[in-house]
Chain A
Amino acid sequence: MTAAFSAIQASFADALLDADRPVPGALTLQAAGAPRKRFAVYRNNVIVGLVEALRAQFPATEKIVGGEFFAAMARVYAVTQPPRSPILLHHGNGFPGFIEQFEPAAELPYLADVARLEIARTRAYHAADAPTLDPSRWEGLDPAALVGARVTLHPSLQILRSLYPVVTIWAMNAGDAEPSSIEDSGPEDALIVRPDLDVQVRRLPAGGAAFLHALAAGASLGDAATSAIADHPEFDLTANLAGLIGAGLATELHCTPTPKDIAP
């Protein structure tokens, strides 16, 4: 029963993203006097709306390549990989992968990771809220209890490991900062978290990403430290613990009961 309407909708939909297709034949003659420009309002709304949504989600990526390049790149993405969900923010998820394959951006191999960092910021912004752990909860733990303790990390916490200095590049292109030359062009791991209302982006110290990944997977602090040292021999447990506590990355501390605690 809905075949007729479905067919009309299909021809309308197909012509929205492909300007080479004719204007759908189901439109009235009244509009047919000037159907191209009238139908073009819809084409324009769709494309401009999708490009603007990407622009809003990827401001640093846009700043790196410039507005005109970004709009052209976003337009190709929107037409070839249009959104699948009415939650438009999800459309950005495929953008870094697209950038990696986008030939004109090949000279900027770090660009996709900057876009990944911006996706992580969006996710952190919209993630569930959770109160961070009161720092006093860490007081008085003996070393054995500390090694066996597990933590629940904040639901907004995300880690991005990059072969490029992604945090430095992002920071130079976020907000009003003036770009300057990068002294250390080595890899950087980014921590993105929103303990309260503001999303924070930090560069993780050596082994910090492996440490947090292990904690997120449920490892004890001791086991997570072992993983981190395996990842990077310069891993510094004291400094990383201080970061974990100071930056409010944990929401819960679970101490394995020691025999002393269980005894009556």
Chain B
Amino acid sequence: MPIPSRLPAAAGVGFKPQHFADIIGGEQPIGFVEIHAENYMGAGGPPHAQLGALRERYALSVHGVGLSIGGAAALDAEHLARLKLLCDRYQPDSFSEHLAWSSHGEVFYNDLLPLPYTPETLARIVEHIDLVQTTLGREMLLENPSTYVTFVDSTFPETEFLAEIARRSGCGLLLDVNNVFVSAKNHGTDPTSYLAAFPMARVKEIHLGGHDEQTDDDGAPLLIDAHGSPVADPVWALYENAIARSGPLATLIEWDNNVPAWPVLAREARAASDILSRAAAAKAA
């Protein structure tokens, strides 16, 4: 029986080393931190010194960005072993990865790339998740992607695809509300309907982050999942609606590029925390 994901229903932040002193130093509006697994695969040094100190004080989410779960090829056994080593060392409260691929052939593309949603890819992903959960001995959470293109071959809507993966593999889901908004705007669909169809009972963590607004060659909106700005107002609104339905859930602020000073990030975390408190109060009433 894999260890279930058990992050607290609080706000958290994606950890950046430049914020270490602030996060460790005083009372902060966060209940957990999240790290990218691939940044902690060396043997020692400052990354592990900081992570060890953070682990003593906060709940921990390990978020992988390189396993290529959505790829056609078998998972990289060496990489999976490295993930196991990291999880065994820090005993995180959650491990998550993406509905995406990043490796093909011998090459690692360092991006979260899209895939068609078909019975074939569904079966492949369930196999991969089975292997991850068996190897790590933990439930994993699978995150919905932000996408810029869709595939002719797809036969499932994304929400149904994720629900079916979760049902067959027993994995949990990580709902990235910014990704929902970005994909919906890019494909001309309705983010509220997407969320209404999302299997919320499987969701164990939420991601919020900023996006960039561009236009494509036809002048249609093209949103980029850039993680370099505050969470946009419509994303906050979608988040509040989702939380009102599900009840409070661990909520992460992702800010990976143009990383701001700690008080700016803390303000975003506090905003999420306020929404969580309102949802908890409404539930109790």
Contacts and interface: CB of A to CB of B under 8 A. Distances in A.
Interface of A: 1-2, 4-6, 8-10, 12-13, 16-17, 26-31, 33-39, 41-42, 45-46, 49-50, 53, 82-89, 124-129, 155-156, 194, 197
A106 to B, nearest CB: 28
Given A9-B71, A49-B110, A84-B108, A126 B220 contact: no
B42 A127 contact: yes
A35 B216 CA distance: 9
9 contacts: A4-B120, A5-B115, A5-B120, A28-B151, A28-B154, A31-B149, A31-B187, A82-B107, A83-B108
A202 B149 CA distance: 51
Given A13-B109, A82-B108, A125-B46, 7 more contacts: A5-B121, A6-B72, A8-B151, A9-B101, A30-B188, A34-B222, A126-B47
Contacts of A38: 148-149, 186, 216, 222
Contacts, number: 152
Given A8-B151, A27-B152, A49-B111, A37 B222 contact: yes
A88 B38 contact: yes
Nearest to B257: A52
Nearest to A198: B46
A8 B116 contact: yes
A45 to B, nearest CB: 4
Contacts of B68: 86
B153 A86 contact: no
B105 interface: yes
A2 B124 contact: yes
B278 interface: no
Given A5-B118, A34-B217, A84 B43 contact: no
B45 A86 contact: no
Contacts of A37: 216-217, 222
A127 B108 contact: no
B48 interface: yes
Nearest to A89: B42
Contact of A26 (B106, B123, B153, B186): B153
B72 A86 contact: no
B218 to A, nearest CB: 4
A160 B47 CA distance: 24
Interface in B118-145: 118, 120-121, 123-124
Interface residue SS majority, chain A: helix
A34 B222 CA distance: 10
Given A49-B111, A127-B42, A155-B43, A28 B149 contact: yes
Interface string B6-39: 0000000000000000000000000000000010
A155 B48 CA distance: 15
Nearest to B83: A86
A35 B151 CA distance: 11
Given A5-B118, A85-B108, A88-B38, A27 B45 contact: no
Contacts of B224: 41
Closest 8 CB pairs between A and B? A126-B42, A86-B66, A129-B44, A34-B216, A128-B43, A13-B104, A6-B72, A34-B217
Contacts of B43: 126-129, 155
Contacts of A155: 43-44
A13 to B, nearest CB: 4
Contacts of B188: 30
| A4, A45, A124, A194: most-surrounded residue (chain B CB, <10 A) | A45
Contacts of B111: 16, 42, 45-46, 49
Contacts of A2: 72, 120, 124
Interface string B64-108: 011110011100100100100000000000000000011111111
Nearest to A199: B45
A34 B150 contact: no
Contacts of A13: 104-105, 107, 109, 113
B41 interface: yes
A34 B110 CA distance: 24
A52 to B, nearest CB: 9
B49 interface: yes
Contacts of B76: 86
Interface string B218-247: 101010100000000000000000000000
A13 B41 CA distance: 26
Contact of A197 (B46, B106, B120): B46
Contacts of B65: 86
A82 B107 CA distance: 6
